[in-house]
Amino acid sequence: MGVWALCEVLGAPPVPRGSWEREATYVSAAALTRGRASAPRVGEELAARVRALAGVVAVDVRPDGLLVIEVAEPGEVVRDVLGAGMGEEPADVDVPMRVDVVADIGGPPHGDQGGRPWPDRPRDWSNPGFVIRYAYVRAGNVLRWAGDLGVRGPFRPEALDDPRDRRVLRTLAEVASRTGEKRPAGGGRRPEQGGVAYLVRLAEAYHDAFEGAGPLPKGDESAGVVHVARVWMAAAVRKILGEGMAGLGVTPPGKI
């Protein structure tokens, strides 16, 4: 169950709720747009339609008409972000032909920092710009390495069940409600998702997942569905971070 299917019924993107570590829930105030007096009735009507959607576990209608929706597979948000949440089933994630990996960022790609939301230095965890750029490049490296290792295959959202993966998914799930979009934007820039604080949270969540829930097989380990799913997740993270940086006037880096 992707958020875009919920949008089709609710008329507006629901907002993710809680940590998603154990269960993935959204909250929708769609019924309240009809007026508070009719909100409970409208809420029940919307709840009945949402319950009929595949992948919805439960829908609770609060006394004020607020809907709390639990979905079975939070990983479906990855498909939404990649623009394949409306029924398409691509076999593979596109892997960049080359992503540079070096020890240091080097200088700003286009002159000085004029107009940028953060300084180029220090290049450590205290600088939100470094945190975001490093996560973007890390995600790109995962795509490149996955291509080298032959980690490809259909996406299985249920494989993303590690708490660290769930934290990334929970943060990605905010994109729709931040933009107000009812369906994918087809790769265009999404300006409202570009706030630095949001991008930092997504980047930090991805760093934790990258370091604690390995996205690629190690040693003689064979690639499994979890690795494929994490490659898809890396592509989604890279897409949102890249669009967010572009929206802030920052050129996404090719290396770090």
Calculate the average pLDDT of the chain: 83
Domain boundaries defined on the chain: 3-71, 90-247
Q: Which of 51-55, 92-96, 222-226, 237-241 has the lowest mean pLDDT?
A: 92-96
Whole-number pLDDT of residue 33: 86
The alpha carbon dihedral of 23, 26, 27, 30 has a sign of: negative
Structure tokens at 152: 């490809």
CB 132 within 8 A of CB 203: yes
In tens, the pLDDT along 25-35 reads 999 999 998 78
Q: On the CB side of 234, how many CA atoms lie within 13 Å of its CA?
A: 36
Burial of 137 (0-12, 13-18, 19+ CB in 10 A): buried
Torsion of CA 200, 202, 208, 211, to 10 degrees: -100
Superfamily of domain covering 90-247:
Isoleucyl-tRNA Synthetase; Domain 1 (1.10.730.10)
* pLDDT at position 251 over 60: yes
Give the pLDDT score at 183: 55
Q: What is the pLDDT of residues 86-122, one digit of tens each?
A: 333 443 455 433 333 332 333 333 333 444 667 777 7
pLDDT tens column, 121-132: 777 888 998 999
Query: How many Cβ atoms are within 10 Å of 123's Cβ, its own excluded?
Result: 16
Which segment, 115-124, 136-145, 171-180, is predicted with the most confidence on average? 136-145
Q: Is pLDDT above 80 for 164?
A: yes
Q: How many residues are present in the chain? A: 256
Mean pLDDT of 236-245: 94
Taking residues 81-86, report their average pLDDT.
Answer: 64
